[in-house]
Structure 1
């Protein structure tokens, strides 16, 4: 029976049903369409309807030969529907149920098509989050590709993100299909583009083997296998294809290929796979090799559990039985070589900053059949939404070798854990609650006392045998002796929060937020202060963050009251207009900025209690990436660069107020450490000077090798701004009555 969907579409008959709704064959002004009508309970959720409308622009912009195009989004009374292109064919699940497994050439051709579609989506800032055979359609009306495989199109973009609202998804619930969930989602990290790569690799494994690498049985057991087991090698798979599969099924998101790279690699392998028959492979378990299903099996429905699951116990395997490649739950006994910390993210170099769009374009250029994706790069002035980036094989292998060497050296020395010189406080464990330094809890970490070499703790170090990045730590560093604070001329309004200072061309620029929610700044030279200036255009929250990456130029970053990040540039003596840096990512606190190389801008910000980073090189932003920290953070971060290619971020741990330092060296973020003796509730400030830096927080100052000292601040002062001009160190504070004050010290 026909039914109207909005004013333009008519649904005639049901094509299929899924966990989120029903797909109808429909008719619209431009001909036949597929209409996905979401469940009634979803349509009645006003918060979801609002998100649905907000996602409209992003979803309608996905235009690629291997993505089922979304023509319209309909909100009409109790109807909430996606109007999509009609694909004449079947889904990949139906093909698998008929054939069980595919020939390698056909399987790889389908996976390459899906990878091309994902590359375009990721370039547009959209993560699918539910890649599985049910969401891959095979266009039987088109000309078959390699191995006789019909062209594959990925559908249902945005459904998982729409359904997964905070109100509908509590901390104990996981949205997704268990067989295809990436380990970082199971461990509670936000989904990035790399989760789609893991899911697609799982689909490709299933196309080749006839079963998924970690599926079968109770959902809890499936989820545990994703996190703790290595993937079983498929007999008969060509070595080059297995290398790609294993890399994309790595536990660490940073180790996986990007979508454009994956599509290109798979298409390069197609000629060598021609004529190969389907594999004969058996999974551990049942009579035909499948794992025997247990009570509470998942079927095809997404996993949505209101209570924490209790994973069934694992029976010990016979001696020497390595069939399933199990990784022990106790860290350190037989770790997976790819099991880096899920948040061990490499900050890309300038050559890597072309991003998903460039990678997909290169893949398309290398595609002689012309089937490559038309991926679009992010806008030049806008980084992509937070997501992980892949690490080159050589870099990753080097890091693994270095980590192994460091671990061996520390084991010989009888050390159970490692911390840099600044983590000398016995009251703070620099690794948080997890031996690997990946704690996501808001609890203060336990004392490191008693963590001996036999407790399963994995040592961590940035480099094997490297000296402390601050230089010698054998003697205390003399802290600056500051003059009394003296008030600067009053601004047009009372200042709020804390200032930030920057020296450019011998002039000190001091920026602060006014009570009118505008940015105010004043310039000081050897003769004194100039007049105050007001930057209008947006209302800001938090302290503005200035940085100078080029001579005579200042880039100012500020957090709007809408939670979005904005940028304004001073060049040639004139300010340009405010521009939006990222239209999707909402920040919890004001960002911090630094320049680790000439012409490069590095940012850190706090999103949902996590520290994220992005960089601007040659006019293009790279993707936001998660910075590993020991626990959740609060307050605004600080960021400085002490030399080319280095960064140091300083954050406040939410659990106990400890100030943490997170160094970036040799292309990677290193383990965090506690700045001994400093606790804070607001943004810390850092002043680099030579081979060391001074850290200010909550009215105290310290250097890495010395004890903290109290610093006399004006009454009511909050966070400081610090800068060095010649041989003079300067700190700025906003007094209780809203005026700017300055203190100095000689180097």
Structure 2
């Protein structure tokens, strides 16, 4: 039965229930949403409602592709609700229950997504405080899996002093950092510890300290080393060790976790799942170990109290801020005799009392289990891939370095030349910026460009004759446009709104331009967008800050933008082209040295960048020709236009091509197909000119 939430939202059906409330699928003014309706006892708490209102700005401002965005916080009578993005896909716990263990590559990719979301939140002073698989949603739109962290703010809202005073700990015991158990103030490091626990669980099927009485779980976090994962590649083992360090100061930041896991992905590709025996004491699902003693993780994962047996009852209140490198000797693993098991169970209660006396407020943990995130601590921000959208037309080139040469002779099937330039019709207004172009039919190419007020204009022609310029529906673009043809006779123009820096789309169908519609509502874009069709999917890349981000429009569903993990820091807007379905090539200018890099996507993942041997100061443009050749064009610092095409073999360098033309705004457009490659520029005189290839 439908239920109205406030004046703007309607809850339609229940999606799930947790400790803090019920999640509904609903509708709002801008389309489908998820509505988390908190429990009635929470809604009747005046102090909590006041905090709820105070937190609204901070929570709504969290804007990152790896965070389930909060649209609104509603206080209406007995209703207290968070209105969030509706994610099409299961949570990570559901996937774990189905698969039990993930292969290293998808496990690392998921945790890299989460790390990037945490980094963005920490930069805004928001700590999650309940990172666990239940709070990670897997967005499957567009055929790609992107992890998104949800339930930001729940723990902070519910964590009023009079609710938590000596009664319970906010969070789920399996994922609690030692300092939380010790009663210290939580920082961003508690989220990193929880994320390390999630990564461990994805790789092995259980958490490193889970199983048995909650008191025993809490004690293990503080006193015991992390059981190792035999065969885990060193880069991931090092990340895991640093994340699960007992000392908060020794942990990586969320940004560092994301960067290191992204860097490790190529080495993890194709590795099978690990088959690691469960530790003594078992996992909550009841599995028992096989008697092996796993080796410890690398230096950095150390007990706070060394030199004593892990199960002994002792004071565990120690200094959590001390560095841990080099590590002191590792204490024995949690594998012990039946007698020790029996004794461990008898001291569990005493251990809880000691932890309480040391500074914690450990009560019956289960009352806080389920949906509680919370407070705040700044860190650094990263943008996110999970897996991006883009690709290389030559799948065999996945592992090349940043200065590699191009791929195969097929890419250099024909080297085009541009012997003549011709002017397009004079527009009725003064145009500015660079053009965008796309071939919609065998004999019709469309060109769009904005005027000084940001209003887009368009013309079309066959390379020799062009129609008069036509004004598109009213819009104020803040950057140059992108143009792509999703089908015969159809064209989509993409633009960045001047006011909000978000992505918009305007479509030409049956010869008529439709209204501008916002395509992405989250990612603020720096510079012009770039787009191409890869099969029946529209791939889009943008520069967001100094990062390359990608998104996909497939079957009318937009995935949102995620950071391209292998791309360096970039300057200028990117270029994008595709040679075949499932492949994309992004071209970027690397920040610092202005080197032009090709960033390929193939086999479902972004690959390492390849330097193509030319440098430029303007925005690149690129296209795959119908004959299988790749052309890259960009201006130099003086505006002179040059290009490059691949050599005839892997050992050949990219070959420069001089187009004998200068641009006014450091940008050009390339449209390929039907036996020709047209290059468009706005010249020093302000005229739009075209050079069809010979």
Query: Cα gap change, 1:50/1:498 in structure 2, threshold over 3 Å: closer, same or farther?
Result: same
Q: How does 1:297-446 map to 2 (within 5 A)?
A: 297=320, 312-315=324-327, 387-389=384-386, 420-422=404-406
Aligned pairs, how many? 459
Name the residue aligned to 1:564. Answer: 502
Separation of aligned partners in 2, 1:621 and 1:710: 38
Using the TM superposition, give the Cα deviation of residue 517 of structure 1 relative to its aligned residue in structure 2, in angstroms: 0.5
Q: Could you say if the C-alpha distance between residues 714 and 217 of structure 1 is closer, same or farther in structure 2, counting changes exceeding 3 Å?
A: closer
Cα distance in 2 between the residues matched to 1:72 and 1:33: 17
Cα gap change, 1:418 to 1:49, in 2 (>3 Å): closer
Contact 1:683 1:719 in 2 (8 A): yes
- Give the secondary structure class of the aligned counterpart of 2:693: strand
* Match for residue 484 of structure 2 among 547, 556, 565: 547
Match for residue 534 of structure 2 among 596, 612, 615: 596
Displacement, 1:500? 1.3
Give the corresponding residue for 2:433. 497
Q: Which of 378, 390, 410 is matched with 1:471 structurally? A: 410
Q: Where does residue 431 of structure 1 map in the other structure?
A: none
Sort the Cα spacing of 1:629 and 1:71 in 2 relative to 1 into closer, same or farther, 3 A.
closer
Q: Is the 1:601–1:615 contact (alpha carbons within 8 Å) kept by the matching residues of 2?
A: yes
Q: Distance between the aligned counterparts of 1:645 and 1:119, measured in 2?
A: 24
Go from structure 1 to structure 2 and tell me whether the alpha carbon gap of 1:485 and 1:722 turns closer, same or farther (over 3 Å shift): same
Query: In structure 2, what is the Cα distance between the partners aligned to 1:249 and 1:652?
Result: 20
Q: State whether residues 494 and 505 of structure 2, in contact with CA within 8 Å, keep that contact through their aligned partners in structure 1.
A: yes
Partner of 1:618: 555
1:695 aligns with 632
**Residue 648 of structure 2 is aligned to residue 728 of structure 1:** no
Q: Report what 1:220 is aligned to.
A: 249
Q: Secondary structure at the match of 1:119?
A: strand
Distance 1:721 1:225 in 2: 38
Q: Corresponding residue for 1:525?
A: 462
Alignment of 1:270-285 (within 5 A): 273=286, 285=303
Output the CA distance in 2 between the equivalents of 1:717 and 1:390. 33
- Tell me by how many angstroms 1:34 deviates: 5.1
Please tell me whether the aligned partners of residues 723 and 731 of structure 1 are also in contact (alpha carbons under 8 angstroms): yes
Structure 2 Cα separation of the partners of residues 31 and 484 of structure 1: 75
Distance 1:120 1:494, change over 3 A: same
- Contact 1:195-1:253 within 8 A present in 2 as well: no
Distance 1:131 1:322, change over 3 A: farther
Alpha-carbon distance change, 557 to 219 in structure 1, aligned in 2, over 3 angstroms: same
Looking at structure 1, the residues matched to 332 and 266 of structure 2 have their Cα atoms a distance apart, in angstroms, of: 25
Change (3 A) 1:220 1:526: closer
The structure whose RCO (Cα within 8 Å, separation 6+) is larger is 2
- 3-state DSSP of counterpart to 1:180: helix
Sort the Cα spacing of 1:176 and 1:131 in 2 relative to 1 into closer, same or farther, 3 A: farther
- C-alpha separation in 2, matches of 1:322 and 1:552: 70
| 1:14-53 aligned within 5 A | 31-33=44-46, 35=48, 51=58
C-alpha separation in 1, matches of 2:56 and 2:153:
23
Question: 1:540: how far off?
Answer: 0.3
Match of 2:8 in 1: none
Give the equivalent residue in structure 1 for 2:310. Answer: 289
Deviations 1:696-724 (A, max 9, x none): 11221111224324321146353111123
Three-state SS of the structure 1 residue aligned to 2:418 is coil
Q: Cα deviation per residue 1:368-389 (whole Å; 9 max; x = unaligned)?
A: xxx999xxxxxxxxxxx96444
Alpha-carbon distance change, 38 to 125 in structure 1, aligned in 2, over 3 angstroms = farther
Task: Determine the structure 1 residue equivalent to 2:688.
Answer: 740
Retained in 2: the 8 A contact 1:130–1:196? no
Deviation by residue 1:645-691 (Cα, 9 ceiling, x = unmatched) = 21110001111111100111222211101110x21222101131233
Q: Is this contact kept in 1: 2:309–2:332, CA < 8 A? A: no
- Spell out, residue by residue over 1:528-574, the C-alpha distance to the aligned partner (whole angstroms, 9 max, x if none): 11111111332102221111222222122111112110011111222
2:577 counterpart (617, 640, 647): 640
Partner of 1:357: none
TM-score (norm. length: structure 1): 0.51
Structure 2 residue matching 1:711: 3-state secondary structure:
strand
- 1:185-207 deviation line (CA, Å, top 9, x unaligned): xxxxxxxxx89965997995454
Matched residues in 1 for 2:133 and 2:59: separation? 25
In the alignment, the residues of structure 2 paired with residue 717 and residue 49 of structure 1 have an alpha-carbon distance, to the nearest angstrom, of 42
Aligned residues of 1:559 and 1:590 also touching (Cα < 8 A): yes
Mapped contact 2:644–2:655 kept (Cα < 8 A): yes
Give me the whole-angstrom Cα distance separating, in 1, the residues matched to 2:266 and 2:51: 31
DSSP 3-state at the match of 1:181 = helix
1:717–1:626: structure 2 CA closer, same or farther, 3 Å change rule? closer
**Partner Cα distance (2:72, 2:488) in 1:** 38
Matched-pair contact (CA < 8 Å) for 1:201–1:249 = no
**Equivalent-residue separation in structure 1 for 2:452 and 2:615 (angstroms):** 27
> Which one of 646, 656, 663 corresponds to residue 704 of structure 1?
646
Structure 2: distance between partners of 1:254 and 1:582: 32
Output one character per residue of 1:9-31: Cα deviation in whole Å (capped at 9) or x when no partner: xxxxxxxxxxxxxxxxx999973
Shift of 1:418: 8.0
Partner of 1:346 in structure 2? none
What is the aligned-residue RMSD (CA, Å)? 5.6
Q: Are the counterparts in 1 of residues 405 and 611 from structure 2 also a CA contact under 8 Å? A: no
Asked if 1 retains the 8 angstrom alpha-carbon contact of 2:387 and 2:562, the reply is no
Change (3 A) 1:274 1:135: farther
Distance 2:430 2:630 in 1: 31
- The verdict on how the C-alpha distance between 1:221 and 1:574 changes in structure 2, with shifts beyond 3 A counting, is same
Q: Structure 2 regions of 5+ residues with no counterpart? A: 1-38, 84-128, 160-167, 173-185, 212-216, 227-242, 270-281, 335-368, 372-381, 389-394, 636-640, 648-653
Shift of 1:255: 8.9
Corresponding residue of 1:580: 518
Q: TM-score, normalised by structure 2?
A: 0.54
Moved more, 580-589 or 689-698: 689-698
The alignment partner of 1:681 has SS state of coil
Does the CA contact (< 8 Å) of 1:217 and 1:294 recur in 2? no
Structure 2 counterpart of 1:719: 667
Work out the CA distance in 2 between the residues paired with 1:390 and 1:293. Answer: 42
Contact (CA 8 Å) 2:461, 2:467: kept in 1 or not? yes
Q: What SS does the aligned partner of 1:529 have? A: coil
Q: CA deviation at 1:744?
A: 2.2
1: CA distance, partners of 2:423 / 2:461: 13
Give the match for residue 450 of structure 2.
Answer: 513
Tell me, in whole angstroms, the C-alpha distance in 2 between the residues paired with 1:740 and 1:198.
Answer: 53
- Check whether the contact 1:637–1:651 (CA below 8 A) recurs between aligned residues: yes
What residue ranges of structure 1 are gaps of 5+ in the alignment? 1-25, 74-110, 138-149, 155-174, 184-193, 229-247, 257-268, 299-309, 325-370, 374-384, 392-398, 411-416, 423-467
Partner of 1:487: 423
| Cα distance in 2 between the residues matched to 1:725 and 1:390 | 29
1:273 Cα offset (Å): 3.6
* Alpha-carbon contact 1:60-1:70 (below 8 Å) kept: no
